[in-house]
Amino acid sequence: MEFKHIQKLIKDIHSVELHVIHTTEDLKKLLSQGKLESDNQQLITTLYEAHQNDLDPLFVETNSDCHFIMFPDSDCYYLVGPFTLEANHRSLPYLKRASLRSLAELLYYLIFEKQGAKLLFSEDLEASSPLPLTRSPLTPDTPLHQQELENLMLTAIREGQIAKVKELLLLNPINKENDSIGVLSKKSLIRHYRNISITTVTLATRAAIQGGLFPEIAYTLSDRYIQALEETQFISDISKLMTEALVELTRKVSQEKQLNFSPITNKAREYISNHLYEPITREDVADFLMISPNHLDKVFKADLDNSIARYIKHEKLNLACELIEQQHYSLSDISESLGFHSLNSFSKLFKQHYGYTPSHHLRHSAK
């Protein structure tokens, strides 16, 4: 997964920032922006220099309620924070202490694409005892080798085989849990299954992209389901959401494979999908493909019976609809980020396309 998507995922789930540090000077500059006391800056810098050979995430707790998680990669260093563990703190993102391990495990997996991270603590640098996550997230309690099953699932997603994905999902152990198990009765178990499901959706997203689904579509869909997984409080709902995510990703791959468009149209659609957060014109797409705008329009209309300008507007509005449903962004932010001239013009176009306003869709999504 691209780093910017990992940053966004960590920000959306845990409300904290993820930074990449390449040198001690980079670290000092970042710490100075956070207005840390000099002794705390020195503590983090010292740990940064001493922790280069240990890949496990390290939780750094300062004496000013300004905390970090940090760990190195082969050519850089990752820093998560600052955040606070105090619920009444107003100037920093609040993170529950119980969420530290889940954040460290998720981030470690997203960056290194493997499990097994141990969260170390700066006060003693002794290994903690996190809930073991050594099994593959797609592994059921069957004699089938776990790597073989995971490969079967990811291959089915890449190939758009919906029936096969549903068959393999029936083997998932989460589907066998009791519907009544809630966050208050077995909180650690809930967190365990959330981590498994988030990891599974991440793997499935990558497989869908490899199968031909445009990255922006795949990541938007993934973000929506991961947010829903974080908010649910029952294991049975986690199972349903993970199943829905994998089936939906596979369905979109299948739909993409059934389209028999020309190479020009496919490349144009991919370019548009990757630049939805920018102002896009048919001239931009034509320049990218090194053909004339008129020829691009002719090919595009033959394949899709639609002009490229209308297609761009359609894709931007579809993405806007997805972002509204996530309920993490204001309508003005969505309008601005997608390059609409104003919130008013965005609302008019949205109503023309869907038959109701963005505000109406937001209210309906919140129910």
What count of other Cβ atoms lies within 10 Å of the Cβ of residue 210? Answer: 14
- In the chain, the percentage of residues whose pLDDT exceeds 70 is 74
pLDDT value, residue 124:
46
Q: Residue 71 in contact with residue 57, Cβ under 8 Å? A: yes
CATH number of the domain residue 9 falls in: 3.30.70
pLDDT above 80: residue 13: no
In this prediction, residues 296-320 reach a mean pLDDT of 88
pLDDT-derived band at 37 (thresholds 50, 70, 90) equals: low
Q: Examine residue 135 and state whether it is found in any structural domain, yes or no.
A: no
Same-domain check for residues 165 and 238:
yes
Assess whether 156 and 253 both reside in one domain: yes
Residue 138 scores a pLDDT above 50: no
Judged against a pLDDT cut of 50, whether residue 128 lies above it is answered with no
Mean pLDDT for the chain overall: 76
pLDDT over 90 (residue 250): yes
Q: Which of 258, 285, 301 is the last residue of a domain?
A: 258
pLDDT value for 287:
92
| One-letter amino acid for residue 208 of the chain | A
- Check whether residue 102 and residue 84 sit in a common domain: yes
- pLDDT above 60: residue 270: yes
Which 3 state secondary structure label does DSSP give 343? Answer: helix
Whichever domain contains 311, its CATH number is 1.10.10.60
If you average pLDDT over residues 268-276, what whole number do you get? 86
d(CA 160, CA 294): 34
In-domain check, residue 136: no
Percent share of the chain, pLDDT over 90: 5
Cα separation, 340 vs 90, in Å, equals 33
State which amino acid sits at residue 182: G
Separation between Cα atoms, residue 58 and residue 103, nearest integer Å:
12
Residues 306 and 353 in one domain: yes
Residues 6+ apart with CB under 8 A from 120: 54, 56, 57, 58, 59, 126, 127, 128
Say if residue 268 is exposed, middle or buried (CB neighbours under 10 Å; 0-12, 13-18, 19+). Answer: buried
Q: Are residues 289 and 245 in the same domain?
A: no
User: Left (φ > 0), alpha (ψ -120 to 50) or beta: where does 73 sit?
Assistant: beta
Sign of CA dihedral 27, 32, 38, 41: negative
> Is 158 within the bounds of a domain?
yes
Task: From 241, 258, 275, give the residue that closes a domain.
Answer: 258
What φ, ψ does residue 19 adopt, rounded to 5°? -120, 155
On the question of pLDDT at 145 being above 70, the answer is: no
176 and 108 in a common domain = no
Read off the pLDDT of each residue in 294-306 and give the average, rounded to a whole number.
Answer: 88
Which residues lie across from 182 on neighbouring strands?
A: 234
3-state secondary structure of 127: strand
For residue 209, give its domain range.
146-258
Residue with tokens 């299954």: 193
Provide the 10 A C-beta neighbour count for residue 129.
Answer: 9
User: What is the count of structural domains for the chain?
Assistant: 3
Q: What is the DSSP letter of 117?
A: -
With cut-offs at 50, 70 and 90, classify the pLDDT of residue 157: very high
Residue 139 within a domain: no
Which segments within the chain are labelled E, that is strand? 18-21, 58-60, 67-72, 77-83, 120-121
Angle, vertex CA 327, rays to CA 323 and CA 329, nearest 5: 65
Asked, for residue 138, whether it belongs to a domain, the answer is no
SS3 category, 279: coil
Q: Answer yes or no: is 219 within a domain.
A: yes
164 and 204 in a single domain? The answer is: yes
* Phi–psi pair at 325, nearest 5 degrees: -65, -25
Among 180-184, 273-277, 310-314, the range of highest mean pLDDT: 310-314
Within a domain: residue 114?
yes
What confidence category does residue 228 fall into, taking pLDDT thresholds of 50, 70 and 90?
confident
Task: Give the residues across from 94 on adjacent strands.
Answer: 84
pTM: 0.49
20 forms beta bridges with 78
User: What band does 238 get if pLDDT is binned at 50, 70 and 90?
Assistant: confident
Average pLDDT over residues 314-323: 86
Of the ranges 178-182, 279-283, 362-366, which one carries the lowest mean pLDDT score? 178-182
| 110-115 long-range Cβ contacts below 8 angstroms, 24+ apart | 110/1, 110/6, 110/9, 110/10, 110/202, 111/6, 111/73, 111/78, 112/55, 112/73, 115/199
Same domain, 315 and 218: no
Q: For residues 227 and 230, what is the distance between their CA atoms, to the nearest angstrom?
A: 5
Is position 172 within any domain?
A: yes
How close are the terminal C-alpha atoms of the chain, in Å? 32
- Give the closest residue to 9 by CA, choosing from 218, 212, 276, 319: 218
Tell me which of 158-162, 173-177, 315-319, 349-353 is least confident.
173-177
Diameter of the chain measured on Cα atoms: 67
Average pLDDT (35-56) is 62
